[in-house]
């Protein structure tokens, strides 16, 4: 198959159990993808071929540690599909261990890799060991995928994020600019992290404290600060220098996370500025983690 335009799109969802793969599949189903959960890797090629013959153009498949013995097959299978002109995108859902333990405890569901006869006293220890083992089993797929940290995401936010990724403007590379608060943790999925906590802070201006970087008065205040302008220019220069190299490496997404103390003012403003500057050349998305946007 030598057509220049891919005949079928395949979103491969994988990741840690309890991180929201079912939620992601539901979002893709809403987006008119034909979705299959827990497809054994051995059936991947035959399944895609069958759906292609049936005229399907959008597929989404979830694979995880439930197919542990077959996971090493996936990279080779993906390479074959890409060689057959299938547009494959891999998304890996990640969540902090403490959050996973809380989710499993609340749902009372066993981890797929947990021991079937674990005593009540051993449940938490067994859960920790199962999560650690799963991370080890999936580490190779994680390195090949775009990572989404769901630790702080509500289901509705994860669904919106998944839809924004699959409906991103057509481009070989999509830039995702994300603001965040350092006090709530660095996004584990970020490819580049910029710390802007040293910049002048509107939080200490009484009339700006309750506003955000999306508001005109905050933006006007920050635009007048030379250090803020200098930081924006430096980040822009760095990305401009390396984006073509990243694109030639066949990357689908690059996440640029910008953090300040509270994730309300400086980081939000810079994300807005940079996403606008790069939108003319690259597909761009923006997200403000602490604002829930």
Say if residue 248's pLDDT is above 50.
Answer: yes
Sheet containing 253-260: order of strands: 192-195, 253-260, 174-181, 283-288
Please compute the mean of the pLDDT values over residues 1-22 and round it to a whole number: 79
Say if residue 169's pLDDT is above 80.
Answer: no
- pLDDT value at position 121? 47
- pTM as predicted: 0.70
**Could you read off the pLDDT of 87-137 as tens digits, one per residue?**
899 999 999 888 888 888 777 777 877 766 544 545 555 788 888 888 998
Please compute the mean of the pLDDT values over residues 253-266 and round it to a whole number: 95
Chain centre distance of CA 277: 22
Higher-confidence position of 284 and 247: 284
Give alpha helix (H) positions in 59-122.
74-83, 97-107
Q: Which residue has the tokens 């395949």?
A: 10
User: Going from the N-terminus, what domains does the chain have, and what CATH number goes with each?
Assistant: 8-166 (3.40.50.300), 174-291 (no CATH)
User: CB neighbours (10 Å) of residue 35?
Assistant: 21
- pLDDT value at position 2? 44
User: CB neighbours (10 Å) of residue 13?
Assistant: 28
Please compute the mean of the pLDDT values over residues 178-192 and round it to a whole number: 91
Q: Which residue has the tokens 């999925």?
A: 189
Please compute the mean of the pLDDT values over residues 147-157 and round it to a whole number: 88
Q: What percentage of residues in the chain have a pLDDT greater than 70?
A: 92
Per-residue pLDDT band at 218 (split at 50, 70, 90): very high
Higher-confidence position of 169 and 67: 67
Among 199, 283, 211, 287, smallest CA distance to 235 is for 199
- C-alpha 181/C-alpha 202 separation (Å) is 15
Higher-confidence position of 105 and 23: 23
Per-residue pLDDT band at 172 (split at 50, 70, 90): low
Please compute the mean of the pLDDT values over residues 216-245 and round it to a whole number: 95
Say if residue 148's pLDDT is above 50.
Answer: yes
Please compute the mean of the pLDDT values over residues 59-69 and round it to a whole number: 86
Burial tier of 170 (Cβ tally within 10 Å: 0-12, 13-18, 19+): exposed
- C-alpha 228/C-alpha 128 separation (Å) is 43
């Amino acid at each position: 198959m030598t057509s220049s335009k891919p005949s079928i799109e395949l979103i491969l969802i994988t990741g840690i159990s309890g991180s929201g793969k079912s939620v992601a599949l539901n979002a893709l189903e809403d987006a008119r993808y034909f979705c299959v959960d827990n497809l054994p890797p051995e059936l991947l090629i035959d399944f895609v071929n069958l759906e292609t013959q049936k005229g399907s153009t959008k597929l989404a498949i979830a694979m995880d540690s439930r197919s542990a013995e077959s996971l090493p097959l996936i990279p080779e299978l993906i390479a074959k599909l890409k060689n057959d002109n299938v547009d494959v995108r891999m998304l890996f859902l990640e969540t902090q261990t403490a959050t996973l333990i809380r989710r499993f405890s609340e749902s009372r569901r066993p981890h797929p890799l947990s021991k079937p006869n674990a005593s009540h006293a051993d449940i938490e220890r067994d859960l920790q060991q199962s999560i650690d083992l799963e991370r080890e089993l999936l580490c190779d797929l994680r390195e090949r995928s775009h990572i989404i940290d769901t630790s702080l995401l509500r289901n509705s936010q994860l669904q919106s994020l998944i839809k924004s990724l699959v409906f991103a403007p057509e481009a070989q590379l999509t830039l995702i600019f994300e603001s965040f608060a350092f006090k709530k943790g660095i996004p584990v999925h970020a490819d580049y992290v910029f710390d802007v906590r040293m910049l002048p802070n509107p939080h200490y201006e009484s009339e700006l404290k309750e506003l955000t970087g999306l508001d005109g008065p905050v933006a006007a205040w920050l635009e007048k600060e030379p250090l803020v302008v200098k930081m924006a220019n430096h980040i822009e220069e760095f990305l401009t220098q390396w984006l073509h190299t990243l694109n030639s490496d066949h990357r689908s997404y690059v996440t640029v996370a910008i953090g300040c103390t509270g994730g309300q003012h400086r980081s939000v403003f810079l994300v807005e500025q940079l996403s606008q500057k790069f939108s003319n050349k690259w597909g761009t998305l923006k997200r403000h983690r602490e604002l829930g946007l």
